[in-house]
Chain A
């Protein structure tokens, strides 16, 4: 990439030290708080780390106070370095180190209670699995919004996918037919949004929210009706795919090579959507339509037709993500079982800045948060379980508030395009 760009006048000297007063103070104060807490609150507690799936007998006891102290010092040092001034390119690395140190310190602290074990492999594998609905939902959002259609209705498409997946699997007795059914159901429900957004040019946010309500009402209604008959809402589960000897490698094995179909499809879809968006003609047209539809139109792209098919295709992804809730978790359908995760997926899309790779990173963070919250509340943490369950929502709130000003949405996102009035 770098070959065809002439050396631009350096606006910012990458090596010149620069001060980051506000960020530095925040990180330093956080680090000092961690140190203080370690000295004042943590006695001679220990944190047990275990690789519970591959090396079942092995476990390590780490002295919590020492580890937390070291992590606190790292965070403080990173903050102090920022205050003193550091080369520009080190700024992000120092920030990431400080955040990671604080998070790790909190984790060590949380898992230092009597009887809790940090089961590293289960937790990481679970985190990857739990990030899947976010990946599918957010990728679906990316495909819609890159072409300029806001899809608030991901929650509803999840519900439709979750419901139809189980229903079709029960009728046909075949789980893969169920997956296909879920995708089609998701796609049919986005088709309505696509039609309304392109042909009838309605307000996409309003209709998206109504479509959520419609999906909630429809699935709950059908759930009650079908409950009367037997054998239409039994749990089906997708098999775990184990990659033979690869699955026995510590940490990597259980996390990457012993997962359900959803995980592999999700990871492949991240790569596929990224490739399609940035390396193909379709992707270029999609991005053009999302940024400046009139310009794309003048180059011969049929704006509304492209948007229509993009939204319909995005429904396939969201429907598949919906099937995760039932088929992926081996659960029968239940009313409102998606519990607002479709909206969290939208936040993941914003965190990922409308880019599939960013979506992957954001989804992993949210999956990890959810997994830790579940694990801690199952282990009997002193923090009430309800507050742990709030964690993903609270993180979403903070992230959306902190990032959206800086993360730029596609310029024509949510603006209906009417070829007649340019």
Chain B
């Protein structure tokens, strides 16, 4: 990184050593300001978010026809363009916020006594609902990252998990205490089976997991289309491409529907938190996790220490697939327990990549960023005709682009390099 520090011309940058000891008591503001202008991982995250929302605002302005038309006479009446742009951006981001956190209209109604408390919680419940699968897929990508593997296959693994949970969910007749866990495990097993393929291929032939898992994504999506059309899976009552519904004994119970039936958030969220805690324990306290991290840091050193690289790749990818499969089970047994379609999986798997990158592959960070991106998704879906729904994908990708390239943020904003260097994530080449 030496050449990029040399080229950064930070105007307000003090000579580096004087913060050490020559100054007797650096006051709080000075320390705080120093922290703000340093490219540490917290500030890079914050600046990435701000930059991404700025870029999103510019794109909103450029792509909106009316606002663009006000720019055609910018030099005669610049205030028109300014007000139109400001209103557009404020309205778009407000409607995202209202769909994700708190709807101000409902708040008014609640104050006036026209709406129940449950109505007020609806946006939050939606955010949590969309965040739930993202926790699982984010963990699936993040766990693989720690072993130096880039698992883009979470989408396919999630689809397989959906199908596995669905099949156990409607075909067995069992009491709920046995049926629900079995269906969830079936999802994990199906996802794990698909996840194992890139791991085995990488371990035995050296095929890069990015390409093999992308191919499996496409294959899994097509397989789902075919499977939904078969008599075994296809709904007996509906003619369009919908699966049979899951039995009540395999449906995940909702958490808040006693307040208001429209609150969809269900037990899968709690399972997600628990699994995140489990993954944290696995990574930081268990031998398996130590092996994963050792292989991820330096596979040659790990091999020298007697660890088997190939089997670590296989087990890590299987575990990652199982995590994504759990996300699929959460969908099939939760919000889509009435029957899954080809559209149920949305882009949860691909968003899992962004979640893992923003969370820096730490389980805690992954949960936090899953909540953020769940909020983005819930907001974008509720604001849909006014704001294009893909703004959530766009914002996510922009955020993690900056996260993955902290040197770019540092250069744009003229930040200082922190003591330990910049933090980035690694995945290996061919």
Contact = CB atoms under 8 A, between A and B. Distances in A.
Identify whether the interface residues of B are mostly helix, strand, loop, or mixed: helix
30 contacts: A200-B405, A201-B4, A202-B408, A203-B427, A205-B428, A206-B150, A206-B425, A210-B353, A214-B397, A216-B397, A220-B390, A221-B59, A223-B390, A339-B218, A343-B215, A347-B215, A384-B226, A384-B229, A387-B222, A387-B226, A393-B218, A393-B219, A393-B222, A397-B201, A397-B207, A397-B212, A397-B215, A397-B219, A400-B207, A414-B429
A228 B64 CA distance: 9
A200 B3 CA distance: 9
A343 B198 CA distance: 15
A282 interface: no
A211 B401 contact: yes
B1 interface: yes
Given A210-B401, A400-B208, 20 more contacts: A196-B408, A200-B408, A201-B1, A201-B407, A206-B150, A206-B357, A206-B425, A206-B427, A210-B404, A213-B397, A216-B393, A217-B396, A221-B59, A221-B388, A225-B64, A390-B223, A396-B215, A397-B219, A405-B205, A418-B3
Given A386-B222, A404-B208, A200 B411 contact: yes
A226 interface: yes
B375 interface: no
Interface residues of B, number: 58
A66 interface: no
B218 A150 contact: no
Contact of A205 (B59, B396, B411, B427): B427
A404 B218 CA distance: 20
Interface string A405-422: 100010001110011110
B217 A420 contact: no
Interface in B391-418: 391-398, 400-401, 404-405, 407-408, 411
A386 B223 CA distance: 7
Q: Most chain-A Cβ atoms within 10 A of its Cβ — which of B211, B216, B425, B428?
A: B211
B177 interface: no
Nearest to A394: B219
B350 interface: yes
B404 A206 contact: yes
A225 B388 contact: yes
A401 B405 contact: no
Interface of A: 150, 152, 196, 199-207, 209-211, 213-214, 216-218, 220-226, 228-229, 335, 339-340, 343-344, 346-347, 350, 384, 386-387, 389-390, 393-394, 396-397, 400-402, 404-405, 409, 413-415, 418-421
Interface string B213-237: 0111111001101100100000000
Interface in B116-142: none
B152 interface: yes
B61 to A, nearest CB: 11
Nearest to A389: B222
Contacts of A409: 429-430
A387 B353 CA distance: 27
B205 A401 contact: yes
B218 A390 contact: yes
Contacts of A340: 214-215, 217-218
Contact of B150 (A205, A389, A390, A394): A205
B65 interface: yes
B394 A404 contact: no
B389 interface: yes
Contacts of B2: 418, 420-421
Nearest to B223: A386
A221 B394 contact: yes
Q: Which 5 A-B pairs have the closest CB atoms?
A: A414-B429, A217-B393, A224-B388, A217-B394, A225-B63
Nearest to A218: B394
A220 B411 contact: no
A6 B397 CA distance: 56
A160 to B, nearest CB: 13
A150 B152 contact: no
B430 A210 contact: no
A283 B85 CA distance: 48
